[in-house]
Structure 1
Amino acid sequence: MAGLFFVAATIGAFTTAGIILSLAGETIAFFRVVSFVEFITETQWTPLFSIKKFGIWPLVSATALTSLIALVVAVPLGLMSAIYLSEFAHPKARAVLKPALEVLAGVPTVVYGFFALTVMTPFLQRFIDMTLFNSLSPGIVMGVMIVPLVASLSEDAMSSVPQALREGAYGLGATRMEVATRVVVPAALSGIVASIILALSRAVGETMIVAIAAGQNPTFTFDPRVPVETMTTYIVQVSLGDTPYGSLAYRTLFAVGTTLFVLTFVMNIFSFWFVRKFREVYD
């Protein structure tokens, strides 16, 4: 049984090692042909065109832009929802609202993508001069999609704050809002930040929403009104089967995948560090 438990505990580590090995070979082969300096400094990405450029920044900027828009939407909504559920909602209301909120996480992302393209973008075009494909609309919809991550995990962190802290603040004359925002939220800060970083990782790795609604134009820009191409969208484009196996264009798939893996890995490492450094321990 001890050996079985050991295998179960280490399966995640073995999976990660397998992912690294599957990416490493083709990525190394890619950088034998393309300069790493060009890869991280150039601002043009056209490996499928006749004039080939291999600067990763157009894909990185598009991924960062849509993810940041998603965070701008998800963090305020998620935190306000978490504060209400943890500190203000009646237990019966919480029992209904929290599962209802988490239903958003179960909606297929392809549905979110078509919603962004056919509903959100036409609505925004009434007020903003923007193209049909853009990063603003999928970013907003992606933010709605990750609200349950921020709200649910933050609410769990706030609920774990000892009741004695709340009672002490009430004893000093604090209002309910002051207790929620000045006592509970700071005490649960490590869990809240971890939920935000997890939501950010989810946004960075999202595929279908941006593939449908953001476009396939690898342009280095931070203008949310124009079409862009994220890293995941490019991976989908190359994975359709039109690119010859073993070609340089095919190997760009692994180079982009490795970049995406490194970005999410760094975010997770930062999350672990932050939680350990700022975690509040109570008796």
Structure 2
Amino acid sequence: MAVTDLRKPINPVRAIGERIIQIALLLAAAVSIFTTAGIVFSLIFETIAFFSEVSIIEFLTDTEWTPLFANQRFGIWPLVSATVLTSAIAMVVAVPLGLIAAIFLSEFANDRVRRTVKPLLEILAGIPTVVYGYFALTFLTPLLRNFIPTLSIFNSLSAGLIMGVMLIPIVASLSEDALSAVPNSLREAAYGLGSTRFEVAVHVILPAAISGVIASIVLAFSRAVGETMIVAIAAGQNPRLTFDPTVPVMTMTSYIVQVSLGDTPYGSLSYHTLYAVGFTLFLFTFVLNIFSYWMVRKFREVYD
């Protein structure tokens, strides 16, 4: 008995269209890869040119950063300490408020409230960072000086606080997605054992979604490290090795803005410091991303 071939013939037009789509997707992926590679190689080559004139030991051990002065010093730690300080202040604000918002939206808010509050919360992420910077300088700093008279006009405290407000949507949105992805069977089991809604949210759902929560926190910290306009406007342009949040400081991104204004001669040693600082910033965020990936894989929960 003959067997009938039920497979439909391939439409040549459709096959060509699918092939075009595959090529377009491949090109899009290749563009992102080549762009990233180009950025990395440009940083590496210019950084090598910098270290051909400056000792890497001085770069890593000196505590002063004055590459644009007559007495040039190239210690990166004043920029690193300012970056870490402002980012840490931002995370002190963003992490608790973001997690509280995420837990509320995931476990306590009804659908109507969630559909209203979450878009309003994410509006904060759409505000230009230069607006945040001037808000910190013209509103928050004068307000804080009523309570801290010694607070300088430019300081890392107000810059970090406003940057934390900017990062709340990142922590809240990503954490809420991770919390919502936890199966309802865990909630029902906890309720069946007599747990309250708060106990279920804090002791059951949050630990189950810890990998996504950690990823959101690390992503927010990476965003804080790379923030430019807020710290450039509100934190000042004074490179000093300090963890005092009331004095002016200069972060790595602030220095990049200063050199990028066009007053530094092209190809000079001061110009090459731009790439040395940029490469340091790249390594900083790269390590954070690797740590985030490792934490997600280590604590990730897989449910059927």
Give the TM-score range, shorter chain: over 0.9
Three-state SS of the structure 2 residue aligned to 1:33 is coil
Other-structure match for 1:271? 292
Q: CA deviation at 1:272?
A: 0.8
Q: CA deviation at 1:5?
A: 2.6
Partners in 1 of 2:35 and 2:108 — Cα distance? 41
Matches within 5 A, 1:42-191: 42-128=62-148, 129-191=150-212
Matches within 5 A, 1:189-208: 189-208=210-229
Q: CA deviation at 1:25?
A: 1.3
Three-state SS of the structure 1 residue aligned to 2:52 is helix
**TM-score, normalised with respect to structure 2:** 0.92
Aligned-pair identity in percent equals 69
Partners in 1 of 2:202 and 2:249 — Cα distance? 38
Q: CA deviation at 1:11?
A: 3.5
Q: CA deviation at 1:10?
A: 4.0
Three-state SS of the structure 1 residue aligned to 2:102 is helix
Alignment of 1:8 with 2:19, yes or no, is no
Three-state SS of the structure 2 residue aligned to 1:212 is helix
Structure 2 residue aligned with 1:239, among 232, 257, 260?
260
The one-letter amino acid of 1:113's match is G
Q: 1:225 to 1:159 in 2, by over 3 A?
A: same
Structure 2 residue aligned with 1:218, among 236, 239, 255?
239
Other-structure match for 2:4? none
Q: CA deviation at 1:26?
A: 1.0
Structure 2 residue aligned with 1:41, among 41, 44, 61?
61
Alignment of 1:23 with 2:54, yes or no, is no
Q: 1:85 to 1:276 in 2, by over 3 A?
A: same
**TM-score, normalised with respect to structure 1:** 0.98
**Number of residue pairs matched by the alignment:** 283
Q: After superposition, what is the alpha-carbon deviation per residue over 1:94-145, rounded to whole angstroms, capped at 9, x for unaligned? A: 0000000000000000000000000000111111121100000000000000
Other-structure match for 1:280? 301
Partners in 2 of 1:8 and 1:185 — Cα distance? 36
Q: CA deviation at 1:3?
A: 3.3
The one-letter amino acid of 2:300's match is R
Partners in 1 of 2:78 and 2:204 — Cα distance? 42
Runs of at least 4 residues of structure 1 off by over 4 A?
Answer: none
The one-letter amino acid of 1:85's match is L
Alignment root-mean-square deviation, CA: 0.8
Q: 1:40 to 1:280 in 2, by over 3 A?
A: same
Q: After superposition, what is the alpha-carbon deviation per residue over 1:167-193, rounded to whole angstroms, capped at 9, x for unaligned? A: 000001110000000010000000000
Partners in 2 of 1:271 and 1:12 — Cα distance? 21
Partners in 1 of 2:179 and 2:31 — Cα distance? 31
Consecutive unaligned residues of structure 1, counting only runs of 5 or more, are: none
Partners in 1 of 2:34 and 2:180 — Cα distance? 34
